[in-house]
Structure 1
Amino acid sequence: MNSVPQPATGSLGRRGFLGIGAAAAATGLLTACSGGTKIGADQGGTDAGPSFEGGEYKGPKVTLEYWNGFTGGDGPHMKQMLAAFNKEYEGRITVRNTTRQWQDLYPAMPTAITAGKGPDVAVIHNDWVATFAARNTLVPLDDVVGALKLSESDFIPAVWQAGIYDGKRYSVPLDVHCLADYWNESHLARIGLKEAPADGAAFDRALTDLRKQKVAEPFWMPNKWPGHLMFMALLWQFGGELYSEDGARALWGSDAGVEALQWMVAQIDKGHSPAQVAQDAQYNAFKNNKVSFTWDGIWQINDLKTNARNLRWGMGPIPNIGGTPAVWSASHNFVLTSQGAKDKNKVTAAKFFIDYMSKQSTEWAKAGMIPARNSVRADAAVASLPQIALAENVDVFRFLPALPGVGDVQAKALELAVQQAVLKKSSPAKALKDGVATADKLLADNKKKYTR
């Protein structure tokens, strides 16, 4: 994901991910979804075509359009996997790759699919599956899952459940990616630490001790990316939840939410962080040996290996500040679109492609991702990768709920509330209260927009 200027890289993008919801709203994604992407009877309805039974592809030669947002350090790994597929299926299936920034991909997909110029198969994040499924932009993949003999028991449950909407499976999960705690080993050595603190009290002591050792501001607090991801992780740690089970109400304005946001603001008040940290400044400061800790996604692993040669760094789970181990997480998922569903040969070919790619989790792990399948994480070739240590307890992974339109709510309400508080434009409690009011209105609108 290089959705942002260098040097920040990764699979998800920093500004890229931040802009997903806003871009969706600005370009009329919701209107496009509800208008043009539904498949009527003349377009085959939601029929997913011939049942997938595995084996070899025996249909005529087809070309599949494949869209994804892997524009950063994970991109070369995806291209390598694609090259291997095209070589194996040469003369039968050709997959033509289109890579776009995530914040451009999501609003473009519905309109492009309506015009027949979009993807036949794509990778999207777990929190977009329900949105696109609700508007019939996707077709079910239950037969693929059945043929692959995939079941919830081999996956992190939340990842598995995210692909189900209205009783049907619309996606096959490829990975999990989450926030991690990165630390400067040289800085920690100054205060006698070999590993990062694991809880809130120890983390605060370390920051205080580091300042005594001439690290002026050891933990910079972002007001934008990935500040809202940090807030969600802390919300869950303090025992809170994002939304009600029926998706009608935002719950992040609770006491747990206030505690989480107060903790973030306190890092500035205590002098651990400067105020008004510019976009990407905290990550760049870490790479340049100015910051002792930074919380960022595991997609930064390859960037640090390549572009931070003068930095001795370590990585592990974010500390348990609130008392309940939890971390923000997301997942890349393969989906079959309604455009591909118009051609039964493409449907079959796309399912073979998804089948093939789902088996390449070991190669994909080299891109810095955590394989979604438990069995793959246990593979010796994968188990030694640094990010796999973050999955020792998969119960810590928390995901956005499978609510249609949730990305829009996040961008217009939660993210802005976090930003207002961290920039000291509003108290944490007031910022969250105002944000929840906005969120509840958006959730009510979504209930009307996303009815089937």
Structure 2
Amino acid sequence: MMKKSRFLLSLGLGAGLLALAACGDQPTDEDQAGGEDNGNGNGDGEVEEQAETDTPGDVGDADITLEFWNGFTGPDGEDIAQIIAAFNEENEGEIAVRTQTMPWDNFYDQYRTVVTAGEAPDIAIMHLDQVAGYARYDLLTPLDELFEGVGLEEDDFIPEVWNAGVYEDSRYAIPLDVHPLTLFYNVDLLEEAGYSEPPETYDELVEMSLAVQDATDSYGIAMPVYWPSNMIFYSSLVSHGGDTVSEDGMTALYNSPEGEEALQKMVDLVYEHEVSPSDVQQDGEVTLFRQGNSAFHLNGIWMTAGFEDQDGLNFAAAPVPSFGGEEGVWAGSHNFVLPVQQDEDPERQEAAMKFIEYVSENSLQWAKAGQVPASYSVLESDEFRELEHQYNASQQTFIFPPATPFYADTWGPTGPAVDEAMLGQLDPAEALDRAAREGEANAEDAAQ
């Protein structure tokens, strides 16, 4: 039985909007230049042109048809569709769920547009670090009373991801999953270098990378210059005992001695230890790993399905090596929310909560898409343990974002700052100090 103590999480450290890429759409270069993909697309309000509509399953006319918005445009969309189809068939004639799926970089602007216009969907998926901001502007329905009417139990959820759905003493979100940063490694390359287990520390990562390079024609690791570089920085930061932002989200804490050392460790993999190429292009580190030209790859657990489909790639997943000495890695989470309606309908809300309960209780299928379940009943099941990659990734200490609307404003500029340090254009102290000034100014503007 998996011990719950393995899932010790902290809300005092941020996760960043990099979770937006956990669902099939990665940030563009334009997003990266602004720090991170913040979910703000073109904002043109043309929902029909941005979304795909589907009613999974063979269903007839239902008494209630719910609109469910999400950004699962990648292979994970097929997995959520299977769950919805099973729900629709089980509730045929009573409840049907129809999905609207769109890229995450359009999702949040479209969400604001339709809610403000009084045309909100019944249910939506929202990244954990977005919940507080949308709750602050009264765009989400409080769920405290509605949750009491379903069969879900608070004690069944990882406490910290569950608590992160609360803003100003009201619950606004119910977690679907956890998606952490994960170490992927090439089993064959490690064996050629004489190793049978992955590294657990930074020093071991360097040692094994050098050994792989001595024994093969492959790199030890390919460190990304762009996304997800600051997800790796975030994990290195917390491993060094550093903080991201203050509890209210207004003050940057990452431009600290711990932050400088955390970023320097990343830079050293390229320029001092020389186990990574110095000019990795966008997604180039993914290509090198897929081709068997790098032994190690740091990315989100959602990469699992794609790597499984790669012919000839013998890989495994493991916890991220500790860059500093303390446990902790970046982790995001998809959460169910109920958008504010112009006219609330208790029957539709009850049906929506029934759907959320069903998906939560059947999230093993969702885990197969490359996620870690948020509920212990699935997390500790024998069936989940058989998902070797996801199970290994779950054996980490996850760190979630603070429940503040201003986290993303203050943390966001770390994206380009980390990139410039990785390119050798700025030293870590200069890069992080500049990011802190920009981030705090962003937060001040947002607060006003």
Query: Which band: TM-score by shorter chain?
Result: 0.7 to 0.9
- In 2, Cα distance between equivalents of 1:122 and 1:385: 27
Q: What secondary structure sits across from 2:308 in the alignment?
A: helix
1:200-221 Cα deviation digits (max 9, x unpaired): 1111111122222233532111
1:10 Cα deviation from its structure 2 partner: 5.9
Distance 1:140 1:280, change over 3 A: same
Q: Measure the CA separation in 2 of the matches of 1:191 and 1:222.
A: 23
- Deviation of 1:99 after TM superposition, in Å, equals 1.0
What SS class does the counterpart of residue 147 from structure 1 fall into?
Answer: coil
Alignment match of 1:205 (pick from 207, 216, 220): 207
Closer, same or farther: CA 104–20 of 1 in aligned 2, 3 Å: farther
Find out whether 1:399 has 2:411 as its counterpart: no
| Alpha-carbon distance in structure 2 between the residues aligned to 1:388 and 1:72 | 21
Kept in 2, the 8 Å contact 1:144–1:355? The answer is no
d(CA) in 1 for partners of 2:211 and 2:342?
Answer: 58
Alpha-carbon offset, residue 21 of structure 1: 5.1
Cα distance change, pair 148–92 in 1 and its aligned pair in 2 (3 A): closer
Amino acid at match of 1:445: D
Matching residue of 2:302: 299
Matches within 5 A, 1:391-430: 391-393=394-396, 396-411=397-412, 413-430=413-430
CA shift, 1:177, in A, is 0.7
- The one-character-per-residue Cα deviations of 1:33-60 (angstroms, maximum 9, x if unpaired) are xxxxxxxxxxxxxxxxxxxxxxxxxxx9
How far residue 344 of structure 1 moved from its aligned partner, in angstroms, is: 3.3
**Cα separation, partners in 2 of 1:340 and 1:191, compared to 1, 3 Å:** farther
SS in 2 for 1:292: strand
SS in 2 for 1:424: coil
Q: Distance in 2 between matches of 1:344 and 1:109?
A: 21
Q: Which amino acid aligns with 1:99?
A: T
Q: Which residue number in structure 1 is paired with residue 356 of structure 2?
A: 354
2:281 pairs with 1:278:
yes
Query: What is the correspondence of 1:206-245 to structure 2 with a 5 Å cutoff?
Result: 206-245=208-247
Map 1:62-73 → 2, pairs under 5 A = 62-73=64-75
8 Å contact 2:206–2:275 — kept in the other structure?
A: no
2:293 alignment partner, one of 271, 278, 290: 290
What is aligned with 1:260? 262
Contact 1:216 1:272 in 2 (8 A): no
Secondary structure, counterpart of 1:139 in structure 2:
coil
Q: How many angstroms apart in 2 are the aligned matches of 1:208 and 1:305? A: 26
**Residues 66 and 121, structure 2, Cα contact 8 Å, conserved in 1:** yes
Alignment of 1:13-412 (within 5 A): 13-15=25-27, 22=37, 24=39, 61-148=63-150, 150=152, 152-269=154-271, 270-306=273-309, 308-339=310-341, 342-386=344-388, 387-393=390-396, 396-411=397-412
Distance of 2:233 and 2:367 partners within structure 1: 27
Question: 1:367 Cα deviation (Å)?
Answer: 1.6
- Report how far residue 161 of structure 1 moved: 1.4
Q: Identify the residue that residue 52 of structure 2 maps to in structure 1.
A: none
CA contact (8 A) 2:65 2:97 kept: yes
Q: Distance in 2 between matches of 1:154 and 1:68?
A: 24
Counterpart contact for 2:409–2:439, Cα < 8 Å:
no
Q: Residue 5 of structure 1 corresponds to which residue in structure 2?
A: none
SS at 2:294's partner residue?
A: coil
**Cα deviation per residue 1:55-112 (whole Å; 9 max; x = unaligned)?**
xxxxx92222111111112111100111111122222222110111111111221012
Unaligned 5+ runs, structure 2: 1-20, 46-61
Per-residue deviation, residues 8-52 of structure 1 (Å, max 9, x unmatched): x963533279689555557579xx9xxxxxxxxxxxxxxxxxxxx
SS in 2 for 1:178: strand
Q: Equivalent residue of 2:217, what SS?
A: coil
Residue 11 (str. 1) matches residue 23 (str. 2): yes
Alpha-carbon RMSD across the aligned residues, in angstroms, is 2.3
How far residue 286 of structure 1 moved from its aligned partner, in angstroms, is: 0.2
CA distance in 2, matches of 1:325, 1:121: 35
Per the TM alignment, residue 166 of structure 1 is displaced from its structure 2 partner at its CA by 1.0
Work out the CA distance in 2 between the residues paired with 1:185 and 1:172: 37
Residue 127 of structure 1, CA deviation: 0.5
Alpha-carbon offset, residue 266 of structure 1: 0.9
User: In 2 relative to 1, CA 10–441 (structure 1 residues): closer, same or farther, beyond 3 Å?
Assistant: closer
Distance in 1 (CA, whole Å) between partners of 2:152 and 2:276 is: 45
Counterpart-to-counterpart distance in 2, 1:341 and 1:161: 28
Shift of 1:445: 2.4
TM superposition shift of 1:150:
4.6
The 1-side partners of 2:383 and 2:305 are apart by: 17
Q: Note the C-alpha offset of 1:440.
A: 1.1
Tell me if structure 2 keeps the 8 A contact 1:120–1:340: no
Partners of 2:77 and 2:42 in 1: CA distance: 26
Name the CA shift for 1:100/1:359 in 2 (closer, same or farther; >3 Å). Answer: same
Shift of residue 426, structure 1, vs aligned partner: 1.0
Secondary structure (helix, strand or coil) at the match of 2:23 reads coil
Counterpart CA distance in 1 for 2:265 and 2:163 is 31
- Cα displacement string for residues 278-308 of structure 1 (whole angstroms, at most 9, x for unaligned residues): 11100111000111100011111111111x1
Q: Which residue of 1 aligns with 2:435?
A: 435
Give the count of matched residue pairs.
Answer: 407
> Are residues 371 and 281 of structure 1, via their aligned partners in 2, closer, same or farther at CA, if it must alter by over 3 Å?
same
8 Å Cα contact 1:174-1:371 kept in structure 2: yes
In the TM superposition, residue 149 of structure 1 has moved relative to its aligned partner by 5.7
TM-score by length of 2: 0.85
- Check conservation: 2:164, 2:403, Cα contact below 8 A: yes
The question of whether the paired residues in 1 share the 8 Å contact of 2:364 and 2:378 is answered with: yes
Does structure 2 retain, via aligned residues, the 8 Å contact 1:10–1:74?
no
Question: What corresponds to 1:38 in structure 2?
Answer: none
* Aligned equivalents of 1:326, 1:379: Cα separation in 2: 24
Q: Quick one: structure 1 residues 62 and 150, their matched pair in 2 at CA, closer, same or farther if it must change by over 3 Å?
A: closer
